[in-house]
Amino acid sequence: MKRSLLIFVLLFATTFTAIADKGMWLPSLIASRIDDMKSKGFKLDAEDIYSINQASLKDAVVMFDGGCTGEIVSEKGLLLTNHHCGYDAIQALSTVEHDYLTNGFWAMNHSEELYCEGLKVHILVRMEDVTERIAAGETKADIIAKAEAEGVGFKATVESMYYGNEAYLFIYREFNDVRLVGTPPTTIGKFGADNDNWIWPRHTGDFSVFRIYANENNEPAAYSADNKPYKPARHFQISTKGIKEGDFTMIYGFPGNTQEYITSDAVKYVAEVSDPTKIALRTERLDIIGAAQASSPAIRIQYAAKQANIANAWKKWQGEVKGINRLGTYDKKLAYEERFRRENPDKAYLLDSLSAAYERNYEGYYHYELYSETLRGIELTQVVYIALNDRLSEDERQAALERFYKDYNHDVDRQIAVAMLSAYAEKASIFSPELSALLEEHGGPAAYAEWLYANTTLSSLESYNTESVMSDPITEFTLAIEPIRMYVRDYTYRNFSNIPDIERWYRPYVKALMEWDKERAFFPDANLTLRVAYGKVAGYWYADGEYHLPQTTLEGIIAKDNPDIYDYNVPQALRDAYATKDYGRWGREINGKYTVPVCFIATNHTTGGNSGSPVINAKGELIGINFDRTWLSTMSDIEFDETLCRNIICDIRYVMFVIDKVGGAEWLIEEMGI
């Protein structure tokens, strides 16, 4: 009995007490953490991080393309982010004749920079607690409207924190004129590709260079040849002094999604149902796309961004399941909940209510995820939605069709349709009468999909005919699955736990936790709003007897170099620099060898959306660009463990080395003041 009690106490203590490097903190409230940050080596003050009265580091951080982060590094709006964050834009600019994915691209002056249609960045003006305003009856829409009227190009959102216990207004400047300045070849920017994704040691130069443009008044404006480079209120100074184990690090960015406070019911769903299902379905799609890409350079370019988007989450979910199982997260949650029940018997109903809500919504949310991974992945249905969208002008419709078909291959989509329609029919219990009838009429899902793609006239832009769209079998199929889409639309939320019927119970539950567990450091879940996370450079024990150092170098790239494997076939310029040890200012003595630092790891709490985030040292200087986590760290969206969780960072010295020795764009280095 005593031994069991001791095990329980130790389990609780090591899991849910405040962990030094755990947390994604609102910058406006960072003063509450600044003493802890300084105790770990930080040299600046809270006002240096976030201020509305003077320029601060927040003014140099941007939300990039709605789901990543970037950092401004010059007085002329020069912007660094990840290669994979800019991948869609680079792919859209690439053709077989101008293959910027394969060969890279480097502008040698402003006139050569390439406008990225549709790419936007947002710079935070300020954040404001509006909990009391909403409680007093003011609507979110009214708050947003007032905020957006304050300035040119202002965009605002009101975001809930702690499942609605608090609400914050975020006001941004939205810049629509963003141009590609430089990007390394994919075999640097995506070195190792899916094989190395989420893996440490890592040797990926995951960066690209963009520039923000503004009008003559330095305000956001639509693209114009007359626009000028944006003059930021603040930009990051760059340090090339390097890092060592134990050094302070801080991440400043827009993490997208964590679930710190979910119950054991939700953990069980993620680990046993959601992730395994999605992994299996994406494996099928990736196998089809991979084989097609290997057969054709054109298809490789067409499906490069699609493949990367599918593969990223696919591998993340695998690591998440492994990490959850390794840490015993489900059992820890159960133990924590049982303690809460014992010590708060009057609040135990909250856990019962949450369990009941999960059970009520299980079928709906499961089918939302199943639909998203199967039927929504059938590309040709998008043509139907474009054709039937009466809000589009004819010119807009034509432009949308051209964009779609540019990156479309009918045979690839046919194979995916066969696989995904078959998977949905096997796993789903929700069908429309129309879909059921079509499956029966044509001899099952596989035969029906083959018939569809053999008989459609929508296979290409050339064969597309406005007059025949309504009678096309793809349109019939799209309309047949529309009731399913409408059904799952009611479950389209960030996570299972954010469904209103479930979330309404999390609001009082999380409030009760905050009142009860006084030793726990509570921070709001990530929701793509600006956050600060801090930690230190640190290696980790991967397995018994296997310690992973926190720094990788050019030696590792050359060791992996293989001209016969696309993802490891490094540019000749990199081989030449290594052969001659032509490292310029970027060479260092590391582990007894003269080389170039490439990547390092730290204990910062990160997630998706932190891609491209600036990693700064104790003085607030830029030392790297965050781009990934280690594989078993992906469960940090649910449980963060400082002994295991590491974020992966591209060393700023490698960024400069590639710009210099591979890109030959020294003018950019000069602009950054290095």
Which residues participate in catalysis according to the annotation?
A: 84, 206, 611
> Which residue in the block uniquely carries the two structure tokens 């440490």?
200
CB atoms within 10 A of CB 228: 17
607 touches 647 (CB < 8 A): no
206 touches 190 (CB < 8 A): yes
What is the rounded CA–CA span in Å between residue 454 and residue 442?
Answer: 13
Please, what is the angle between helix 445-455 and helix 410-427, to 10°?
Answer: 150
- What separation in angstroms does the CA of 46 have from each of 24, 35, 54, 529? 15, 10, 12, 18
Cross-strand bridge partners of residue 374: none
| DSSP-assigned states of every residue in 415-431 | HHHHHHHHHHHHH-S--
What is the rounded CA–CA span in Å between residue 591 and residue 88?
Answer: 37
Q: Indicate the residue type of 88.
A: D
- What separation in angstroms does the CA of 160 have from each of 33, 61, 524? 21, 22, 9
What's the DSSP call for residue 662? I
- What separation in angstroms does the CA of 546 have from each of 541, 549, 552, 643? 6, 10, 16, 14
Q: What share of the chain is helix, strand, coil (3-state, %, to 5)?
A: 50, 15, 35
Q: What is the 3-state secondary structure (H, E, C) of 470-492?
A: CCCHHHHHHHHHHHHHHHHHCCC
What is the rounded CA–CA span in Å between residue 505 and residue 163?
Answer: 9
* Nearest CA-CA partner of 422 in 406, 444, 438, 403: 444
Its sign, for the CA torsion 662, 663, 666, 670, is negative
634 touches 256 (CB < 8 A): no
Cross-strand bridge partners of residue 166: 161
CB atoms within 10 A of CB 403: 14
- What separation in angstroms does the CA of 416 have from each of 114, 124, 284, 287, 437? 34, 40, 8, 10, 21
CB atoms within 10 A of CB 667: 13
What is the rounded CA–CA span in Å between residue 406 and residue 416?
Answer: 18
